[in-house]
A and B are shown apart, each in its own frame.
Chain A
Amino acid sequence: MTKKLLSPIDLGKPEKLIRGQLIPSADSTGFVEISSGKKWKAGLVVFTGRDVTVEDICEKLVASNKFPVDDQTRNRISQMLEQLATFKIGDIVGLGPNQELVRLAKPARSVSKLPN
């Protein structure tokens, strides 16, 4: 179980958040936003404040009527949620050839570390 999801992110403007929710595309070339169907190369790991399930996302897919909600889709979502639990909020991720989430390089603007 995770409380994290993927939001679209423009790698040229990583400080700007774009509304939406991503799932891996069926062809493993990136992500698709579930309401618009728009393709994205990268996603930002965001905190949702509540547990996210495969069913939650499938309900939105059904509502958007843009994708078939079949077993393959469910599997992709399930795999994504499982992997998201291991990523940090704020990580920028892409999609590997086997539907695996891959951490992309952090943007340059990262201010030092917490004093410890």
Chain B
Amino acid sequence: MRISEINIYPIKSLKGISVDSAVIERHGLKYDRRWLLLDANGTFMTQREVPKMATVSVAIRENGLLVTADGITAMVVPFEPQNGEEIVAEVWGTKSRAIAYGGGVDAWFSQVLGLECKLVFMPDDAGREINELFNAGDDVVSFADGYPQLLIGEASLADINKKLAGETPAVRLEMNRFRPNIVVDTTEAFAEDDWKRIKIGDAVFRSTKPCARCVMTTVDQAMGEFTGKEPLKTLSTYRLAKDVIHDRYGSFGMSPNAVCFGQNLVAESIGSTINVGDEVEILESY
């Protein structure tokens, strides 16, 4: 098995970027979700409430992030704000120090998304603690929901697409619906459920728990709109935690009815690089 895709999502919930290789940092893959948009109340913003966020593109440039959206001039956001206000940013109840941009950067995003918002950056010496059940000590994560990396097997996507093909009208999902960082060219659907420790190239990762999926998977990533109840409706018929990891969902602190798709990972090889084409070796299974 090999890696077929590596994706990063520099600004949480905006469009992702496919890359050929990525450096593994303590918080996750380099540039992945180190930036976050907060609303006027200081609450983190995602496609769950603002699906249009999916349509804002981000590219990495030498001098910062190039952000583009329809109907407005593109803007380069410096990697780190200069003299920005330091704040405490919170995502799903866990907090981190962050630095705010303010000024024109916030105005750009507010205009694009149609609501007042502000962009913040998580510096290297900040981070959010991961779930204590899976924390080996000082494991931290960027502004990603809960864990530094998400891995999905191609065969898993093929499996849900096979089921959705029978729907009327037929639905076919792209991998970006599930926003993985690492995609593996598996041949067995949901093989990743049972991976406990894996090696990608020279880098070792331990899995934490399957990813519990939410309403964001129902957002069409190209249109930035909710498009019905799929794939959650179909996944809930055969991918509930109580069915697919019945022997361990309790010890993972998961709801029995959590809809599982993809495997959350924590890297043990900080500083290593992973590349598309790297071999994936299963070191330990459940």
A residues apposed to B, CB below 8 Å:
2-4, 7, 9, 14-19, 44, 46-50, 88-90, 109-116
Contact = CB atoms under 8 A, between A and B. Distances in A.
Contact of B94 (A9, A15, A46, A90): A90
Contacts of A90: 88, 90, 94-96, 128-129
Contact of B93 (A17, A49, A110): A110
A62 B36 CA distance: 37
Interface stretch (B39-47, B73-81, B101-109, B168-176): B39-47
A116 B87 contact: no
Nearest to A14: B88
Given A47-B96, A47-B138, A88-B132, 19 more contacts: A7-B97, A16-B86, A46-B97, A46-B126, A47-B129, A49-B125, A88-B129, A89-B96, A89-B129, A90-B94, A109-B42, A111-B90, A111-B92, A111-B93, A112-B93, A114-B131, A115-B212, A115-B214, A116-B212
B41 A17 contact: no
Contacts, number: 89
Contacts of A114: 92-93, 131, 145-146
Interface string B153-174: 0000000000000000000000
Contact of A89 (B42, B43, B127, B252): B127
Contacts of B90: 90, 109-111
B70 interface: no
Interface residues of B, number: 38
A46 B124 CA distance: 12
A49 B252 CA distance: 26
15 contacts: A3-B138, A4-B138, A15-B88, A19-B86, A46-B126, A47-B96, A47-B127, A47-B128, A48-B125, A109-B41, A110-B93, A111-B44, A115-B213, A115-B214, A116-B258
Closest 7 CB pairs of A and B: A90-B95, A49-B125, A114-B92, A17-B86, A47-B127, A3-B138, A89-B129
A16 B85 contact: yes
B88 A50 contact: no
A41 B77 CA distance: 37
Interface of B: 26, 41-44, 85-88, 90-97, 124-129, 131-132, 138, 140, 145-146, 209, 212-214, 252-255, 258
B141 to A, nearest CB: 10
Main secondary structure of the interface of B (DSSP, over half): loop
A111 B125 contact: no
Contacts of B212: 115-116
B97 A47 contact: yes
A47 B138 CA distance: 9
B94 A50 contact: no
A90 B130 CA distance: 12
B67 to A, nearest CB: 24
A113 B94 CA distance: 9
Contact of B127 (A2, A17, A18, A49): A49
Contact of A16 (B88, B93, B95, B132): B88
B48 to A, nearest CB: 10
Contacts of A16: 85-88
A89 B95 contact: yes
Contacts of A9: 88
Contacts of A111: 43-44, 90-93
B127 A15 contact: no
Nearest to B125: A49
A90 B146 CA distance: 15
